[in-house]
A and B are shown apart, each in its own frame.
Chain A
Amino acid sequence: MAAITTDAGNDAAQSTLAERRRRRPRVWRGLVLALAGLYFIVPLVASFVFTVHTPGQGVSFEAYTGILGADGFTDSLLLSLGLAAATIALVLLLAVPALVAVRLGAPRLRPVVEVMCMLPLVVPPIALVTGITTVLRWGPEQLSRTPLYQTFMAVQNESFPLVLVLAYTVLALPFVYRSLDAGLRAIDVPTLVEAARNCGASWLYVILRVILPNLRTSLAGAAFLTLALVLGEFTIAALLGYQPFAVWIVTVSGAQARMSVAVSILSLLLTWALLLLLSRAGNGTRTANAMAAAPSSSKDQ
């Protein structure tokens, strides 16, 4: 660790110094992780207790057994998952080529792309939805005789509201940008591309077999964030009048408080399971990533 230079006389002093330094972090590290663990686990455990234990009546799992049969549960969940899949596909298809291109041949576009991706951060969902409502109301009035009118109707399709996919893609852009940018920062894109091109690889091959595998972890990260965002999104869907998962939970909460908490826990577990599955897929490239990048501190500390 600390001893790169091995000066014979200094060796003993250095090793005790290193020893002392190594031990000290362990105390605060343990403390920090314990406190964080407590803060993040207590609400989850307490919610679970809340769903199964009624004071004075004992333990019952009714809140959970009733979910599957509850009105609208399957529909809203499937709708949310479908929206999430469409959003992830769209946001990655838009962001990955743009970010790679900006690093390769259009550095002057970089600030533009960054601002475009980060701008949704300064426009909260509630503001976006006020804008969308205005456009959706204004659109049909002005465009009722043009083919665009059909588009306006199609994006508001009750069974699969594309307007939500578009809005969610906008919301997800900042997070996807951050994740991909961090991944691209860790690999030297121009060098990788040049190396591959010099070896005779085609552009398609370079993107699919060189860039994307190196980005797998951040692609997975971007997909997770988007998935979680879509599954939990309430404001836009509610104010536009659709009923995906999050809106359904609120609808149910009025009559069945316990069940709504139970569904909240389950939705968390579902996301967690999906993320574990996906992060396993991303893990395989860890070593490749570390080799392409400069040595990362996570490996050797």
Chain B
Amino acid sequence: MPVPSPSPSGPAGGTRRRRPGPRTWLAALPLLVFTGLCFGLPVGALLYGAVTGTDRATGATALTGEHLQRSLQGPYLGSLVGSVQLSALTAVIGSVAGVLIAQAIVTSRRTWLRSAALTASGVLANFGGVPLAFAFIATAGISGVVTQLADLGSLGWNLYSFTGLAVVYLYFLTPLMVLVIIPALDGLRPQWREAAQNTGATGWQFWRMVGLPVLAPSLLGGFVLLFGSAFAAHATAAALVGGSVPLVTLKIADALSGNVLVGQENVALALSLDMIVIAGLVMAVYLPLQRRSARWLR
């Protein structure tokens, strides 16, 4: 608790502390208005479109579950499942790898390594999308450099597959985890480790009883972020696999741009809604947990 020391000349601390109260929320207003307009409006339109249909003959708009139902059947359902599987797998691997790398960076005494790794992570974490897909096609595609050198083709390697996509996704997910987790690792006070060591705890005991519980919210947060990023990724997959791996983002883009079939657009909206629901469920797990134990890293 920050208790202001009363200054001899100034007014009492009490009045100063209360003053910022009434008006400070105004500073948060622009942000809230902006998200309401630029985020709430499109999402609202999306929800509305997903659950309503317009009769072409009469022009009347009515509530219908038809689009949502169609989005949960056949190939659409398959694409949702495929996306969830890919995202979960890559988020787990990316989280573990990211924490290991971040810990290696944090415990290293070399400051150049730290700044280089942070910058690299900043760049690579957002090196998703089309350029990444091209880089991997050049590396591990059918006529890619590494594919030729190591003769990966005869080993059964295929970049344009589920495994291939996972390898590509990890290229931006792992640095993202590094970026997210480094502040938390920095927040682990060295005194805690000293205290643990001085009371005879082994390194493993320190991590199991102090380190990991304190890091848990940040780890979960990172995992959610990774899952969300992998789940939402579209450009990489679009440039890489086209239609050979069923992913929900690819299906939505197809329905949005490729076709002008009646009702197809609303199925795209319904699929978007499905995506939002899945990502929202993950988020609902994360937020309370994060709030509960965030106090350790204050």
Contacts and interface: CB of A to CB of B under 8 A. Distances in A.
Interface of A: 1-2, 4-5, 17-18, 21, 24-25, 28-29, 32-33, 36, 39-40, 42-44, 46-47, 49-51, 55, 93-95, 97-98, 100-102, 104-106, 109, 111-135, 138, 166-167, 169-170, 173-174, 178, 182, 185-186, 188, 190-191, 193-194, 197-198, 200, 221, 224-225, 228-229, 231-235, 238-239, 246, 249-250, 253, 260-261, 263-265, 267-268, 271-272, 275-276, 279, 283, 294-298, 300-301
Contacts, number: 328
A265 B132 CA distance: 9
A105 B21 contact: yes
Interface in B15-54: 16-17, 20-28, 30-32, 34-35, 38-39, 41-46, 48-49
A169 B37 CA distance: 12
A50 B279 contact: no
Given A55-B148, A301-B107, A134 B49 contact: yes
B238 to A, nearest CB: 8
Nearest to B202: A21
A115 B120 CA distance: 29
Contacts of A194: 2, 4, 13, 16-17
Question: Which secondary structure characterizes the binding site on chain B?
Answer: helix
A97 B130 contact: no
A54 to B, nearest CB: 10
A134 B46 contact: yes
Q: How large is the interface on B (under 10, 10 to 19, 20 to 34, 35 or more residues)?
A: 35 or more
A19 B72 CA distance: 59
Contacts of A300: 190
Interface string B225-244: 10010011011001100000
13 contacts: A33-B108, A105-B24, A106-B25, A120-B39, A124-B275, A127-B272, A185-B297, A231-B126, A232-B130, A271-B127, A275-B119, A297-B106, A297-B186
A208 to B, nearest CB: 14
A104 B276 contact: no
Nearest to A186: B183
Interface in B113-143: 113-115, 118-120, 122-132, 134-140
Contact of B43 (A98, A112, A131, A200): A131
Contacts of B269: 130-131, 134
Given A115-B287, A126-B234, A225 B28 contact: no
A260 to B, nearest CB: 5
A94 B34 contact: yes
Given A42-B139, A197-B16, A250-B239, A122 B130 contact: no
B77 to A, nearest CB: 17
B104 A29 contact: yes
A239 B257 contact: yes
Nearest to B167: A39
Q: Helix, strand, loop or mixed for chain A's interface?
A: helix
B130 A127 contact: no
A271 B123 contact: yes
B109 interface: yes
Contacts of A122: 228, 276, 279-280, 282-283
B276 A297 contact: no
Contact of B235 (A98, A114, A235): A235
Interface of B: 2, 4-5, 7, 10, 13, 16-17, 20-28, 30-32, 34-35, 38-39, 41-46, 48-49, 97, 100-101, 103-109, 113-115, 118-120, 122-132, 134-140, 144-146, 148, 170-171, 174-175, 179-180, 183, 185-191, 193-194, 197-198, 203, 224-225, 228, 231-232, 234-235, 238-239, 249, 252-253, 256-257, 268-269, 272-273, 275-276, 279-280, 282-283, 287, 291, 297-298
Given A105-B25, A120-B39, A126-B252, A29 B108 contact: yes
Contacts of B23: 105
Contacts of A28: 100, 104
Given A113-B31, A130-B256, A301-B106, A36 B42 contact: no
Nearest to B46: A131
Contact of A130 (B122, B231, B272): B272
Contacts of A125: 232, 234
A301 B109 contact: yes
Given A126-B253, A130-B252, 19 more contacts: A1-B190, A18-B197, A29-B108, A42-B146, A46-B145, A106-B24, A112-B32, A113-B32, A123-B275, A124-B234, A125-B232, A127-B276, A130-B272, A194-B16, A225-B179, A234-B238, A235-B249, A246-B129, A246-B130
A152 to B, nearest CB: 12
Contact of B41 (A105, A135, A272): A135
Contacts of A33: 101, 104-105, 108, 113
Contact of B126 (A44, A191, A225): A225
Contacts of A138: 45
Residue of B30, B35, B114 with highest tally of chain A CB at under 10 A: B35
A198 to B, nearest CB: 5
Given A43-B171, A122-B228, A50 B130 contact: no
B279 A123 contact: yes
